[in-house]
Amino acid sequence: MTAIPPPPAHAVERPRLRSRLDATLNAPLSVVVAPAGSGKTVLLSQWAASHPDVRVIWIGLEQADSDPRRLLDHLLSAVLPPGHGTTDLGRPHAVTARAFGRPVLESLVGVFREHPPVVLVLDDLQHLAGSPLLPDLWWLADNVPEHTHLIFSSRIDYGLGWGRHRLSHSLIELRQSDLALDEAASATLLERIIGAPVSPRTLSAIMERTEGWAAGVVLTGLGLRSEADPEQFARELRGTDRLISEYLSEQALAQQPPERRSLLLRLSVLDRMSAELVESILSVDDATSLFEELERESMFLVALDRNREWFRFHPMFRELLRYRLKAEHPGAATEILTAAADWHIARGDASSAIDYLLEAGSWERAATVISGCGREMLERNDTVSVSRWLDALPGEFRAPRPDVEILRGMLMMMNGDAARAEDVLREQADRPTLTPGRSAIIHTYLAARVQFRPDPRVALQAAESAVTLLGENPDLHPPELLGLTHPHLLRASSLTSAGRAVFLAGDLGAARRRFDEALAEPGAQYSLYRIHLLGSLALLEAWAGRLRLAAAISQEALDVAAETRLLAHPSPADAFLAAALAAIERGTPSAAATPLHEGALRAAANHRTQLMWIAHLTRVLSEEDVVDPVDPLPSTPPPIVAAALEAEEARTLRLAHASNGGLRHPSAGRWSPLVFEATAAALTRNRLDLARAHLDAVSPEPSESVPRAGVEQLVLRSWLDAREGGAGAGADAMHRALDLASQHDLVAVFVRAGPEVTRLIADLPGTPTPFRATVLERVSLLRRARASSSELAEQLTDRELEILAYLPTRMTNIELAARCYVSPNTIKTHMAHIYRKLAVPNRNSAVARAQDLGLI
């Protein structure tokens, strides 16, 4: 065939690929190598049509062209101008009367020199496999004149001489990955075939199944034209679909000799293939060479790594092979799956082994391997995979096995699927044959709901039941699940959950006692639990106002996480949020930006909704724009957060001199942000009797254990005394408040109280203390920052303000990255944003400009 084939009516333009081909017109050769149906011929015909000024000679090769005489005759007929006989080549009857090959091609080179620029396309070059003329074609590519360009299009990667062209002529090679259609091109193609656009979900399903393989997209479009539910058809699309199966069978599978076809069917059982695996379980002598051959022949093989050690088949081709294997050799797949599982287990790859065992239906063995590898998966934060494996076990297999079902419930809870986890665990708790060991596990993980669901009382009850069971049964031997069911670990976990429950309920003293008990447990030495426990304790101490202690405990948790490579795990979320809250209470909200962001992301990673509420509150306290990692937040915040949010709303109204009529009357007995705001609102409205009643209704908190509450009470006493006694009254209470606050770096409590408290501090008699000066400076800085930031066209973010505060220290970017727990590249990006927003060229200028604006 010498005519350029017209592209089909539905073909989409590929301007990026055409541009790559355009760039090679001054080089001797371009190569297009890809499997059947990848769109090689369509692309080249579109490219040829875009160059009407260039003479394109198209040779569509066929099987018969493997005969050198026929091919050379074909070339001569296509290349010579009309009316030009073969005798004009200077080699009379060269093709038929004498040795063929190189002499004829040498003559063709002469013809190319005598005629205008020409492009010679040899399409379907795979038909020349084994032809003695192939080396001569590469000779031709090396010797054509400058104005001549060759394009070789093939399913087989011959590779002859391409290295020279890569080095000498910047050889352009288009392969399977280049030709794959992207979503936009696939959507256009499908719309042209179907006559209407496809939905995004349908398109996504088609892309997942076809991976942009052009023939797959086209054949799917043809199938969709008669489907009432295109989305379902696309989701269920397989390589065994009639149109796709027929195409692949005809274009790929039918071309293989029987022995190779049989091997392909058996290879299709494997999700991923390496030479060692294939040689071991399929008795292949040289799998590396096999992969090279399959790639060279474009047999839909995809390399999975740069070193080309692991491969897989295109999913649609694999599905066809699996279907044929099942039909022709019904038991072969199970045998290969089991052998692959054994091979992976022997090399410590439990994940791959479990997938193969599940597919083989080896339920008992799969369950055993799952239980053995779960702890490692937990520390890698991949419990979702373990949960998926357990869900893949048939219900009839799981039902009589309580340990498997308890393990399912544990993993669901860890993954944040708390409602389903409770259902599974409570169902197991109702078993008449429940043992104390299993009961202890169940109650321990029911207690863990405290991180995921509202009403901490339910979690507290479960935690207390677990602790009681463990105490009453000192010789308890629970079943081994994930390596997390030793009594020491169960007790540490239950006490931690109990501490979290009473903390979220607002009882800081009881929470601290539970955390201290947990820390004394041997199970608290397990690094993952220790990170959780220390982070929760740090959060409590930050809430209580013991900021120096909170910062130290938070840093200890983060250090453990860094040492054990768990810094990216969800477990440090509490520690990050504690660091953020401590920074806010110190009056430096810009320093809270990074730990707040990191903590919120980790809390959202496994849907710890109660911690996400704390992250939300921390953002509110920072007085920055509230942007949460997930939207919406769960409807019910924990009690301690609900009260704080209500108090913050009341504070905003109070400072704006608006009505506080909507403020809930605080309950007597325990100090809380609501009591503070109710009292401050009464003082603002000059309701001194009401303010005193609020203060007298609660017991003073021990200043050594909850210093923030002590400072707040002293501030309000000072304010009340000043209102009642006039100038100078209340000074003693304010001095005591400042002394107590200075021991813990508590600054924000004074700032939040409002301008009247600031005036009381400024008017205090006596020599100002450094801490008093710090408080007044923070208030002044806040005012200056609010005023001066209006001079900037674009405001700095919290994180940029945090990094800006470090710039005068002369820390390097690497040191800043370590301090902020981000990468050096992230620091560089933030620095660039800071320079742009401050309109400065470098670090020194940024420091000077920030000082002028009062930002540092």
Residues 483-509 have pLDDT tens digits of: 899 999 999 999 999 999 999 999 999
pLDDT for 92: 35
The string of DSSP codes covering 546-607 is -HHHHHHHHHHHHHHHHHTT-TTSSTTHHHHHHHHHHHHHTT-GGGGHHHHHHHHHHHHHTT
CA atoms lying within 13 Å on the CB side of residue 513: 4
Residue 450 to residue 645: CA distance in whole angstroms: 20
Q: What is the pLDDT of residue 93?
A: 36
Residues written for the chain: 856
For residue 200, what are its two tokens? 């995004």
Does 305 have pLDDT greater than 80? Answer: yes
- pLDDT bracket for residue 663 (50, 70, 90): low
Task: Among 253-267, 458-472, 770-784, name the one with the lowest average pLDDT.
Answer: 770-784
Mean pLDDT confidence for 285-291? 93
DSSP reduced 3-state for 121: strand
Check pLDDT > 50 for residue 593.
yes
Q: 428 in helix, strand or coil? A: helix
Q: Are 161 and 138 in contact (CB under 8 A)?
A: yes
Q: Does residue 145 surpass a pLDDT of 70? A: yes
**301-303/310-313 β-pairing:** antiparallel
Q: What is the pLDDT of residue 365?
A: 93
Residue 606 contacts residue 414 (beta carbons within 8 Å): yes
Rounded to whole angstroms, the Cα distance separating 256 from 268 reads 15
> Higher-confidence residue: 318 or 3?
318
Residue 680 predicted with pLDDT over 50: yes
The answer on pLDDT for 314 being more than 70 is: yes
Topology at the third CATH level for domain 401-525 = 1.25.40
Compute the distance between CA of residue 473 and CA of residue 471 in angstroms, rounded to an integer. 6
For the residues of 250-292, what is the DSSP string, one character each?
HHTGGGS-HHHHHHHHHHTT-SSEEHHHHHHHH--S-HHHHHH
Percent of residues, the chain, with pLDDT higher than 70: 89
pLDDT digits (tens, 9 = 90+) for 174-188: 988 899 999 999 999
CA nearest to 460, candidates 507, 416, 403: 507
* Interacting residues of 556 by C-beta distance below 8 A, sequence separation 6+: 534
pLDDT at 251: 79
Average pLDDT, the chain: 85
pLDDT at 387: 87
Instruction: Say how far residue 35 (Cα) sits from the centre of its chain.
Output: 32
- Tell me the per-residue pLDDT of 331-356, one tens digit each, with 9 for 90 and over: 899 999 999 999 999 998 888 999 99
First-to-last alpha carbon distance for the chain, in angstroms, is 77
Q: What 3-state class would DSSP assign to 144?
A: coil
Superfamily for domain range 15-179: P-loop containing nucleotide triphosphate hydrolases (3.40.50.300)
pLDDT at 766 (0 to 100): 80
Question: Per-residue pLDDT averaged across 272-291, rounded?
Answer: 93
Residue 629 predicted with pLDDT over 50:
no
CB 111 within 8 A of CB 36: no
Taking 80 as the threshold, does the pLDDT of residue 736 lie above it?
Answer: yes
**Nearest residue to 153 (alpha-carbon basis) of 124, 174, 133, 130:** 124
Residue 441 to residue 437: CA distance in whole angstroms: 7
In this structure, are residues 221 and 45 in contact, taking their beta carbons and an 8 Å threshold? no
CB 804 within 8 A of CB 796: yes
Q: What is residue 88's predicted lDDT score, i.e. its pLDDT?
A: 43
Radius of gyration of the chain, Cα coordinates, nearest whole angstrom: 37
- C-beta of residue 580 within 8 angstroms of C-beta of residue 554: no
The stretch 646-654 carries a mean pLDDT of 87
Average pLDDT over residues 55-78: 80
Q: Would you say 723 and 697 are in contact if contact means Cβ atoms under 8 Å apart?
A: no
Q: What is the pLDDT of residue 160?
A: 61
Checking if the pLDDT of 444 tops 90, the result is yes
Confidence class of residue 665 from pLDDT cuts 50, 70 and 90? low
| Nearest C-alpha neighbor of 166 from the set 146, 147, 148, 141 | 141
The CATH code that applies to domain 792-853 is 1.10.10.10
Distance of CA 468 to the CA centre of its chain: 40
Closest CA to 452 of 513, 409, 514: 409
Q: What is the token pair recorded at 693?
A: 């009643």
Q: How far apart are CA 176 and CA 33, in angstroms?
A: 7
Is residue 150's pLDDT more than 50?
Answer: yes
pLDDT of residue 96: 37
Instruction: Tell me if 377 sits within 8 A of 393, measured CB to CB.
Output: no
Compute the average pLDDT of residues 786-814: 70
pLDDT digits (tens, 9 = 90+) for 239-249: 667 777 777 77
pLDDT one-digit tens code per residue, 199-220: 888 888 888 888 888 888 888 8
pTM: predicted TM-score of the whole model, two decimal places: 0.70
Residue in 383, 556, 367, 523 with CA at minimum distance from that of residue 440: 523
Number of H helices, E strands in the chain: 45, 8
Cα separation, 309 vs 311, in Å, equals: 7
What pLDDT score does 439 carry? 96
Query: Using an 8 Å Cβ cutoff, are 412 and 426 in contact?
Result: no
CATH topology of domain 240-329: Arc Repressor Mutant, subunit A (1.10.10)
Pick the closest to residue 519 from 493, 500, 555, 545 (CA basis).
Answer: 493
pLDDT category of residue 662 using cuts at 50, 70 and 90 = low
Two structure tokens written together for 513: 């006692």
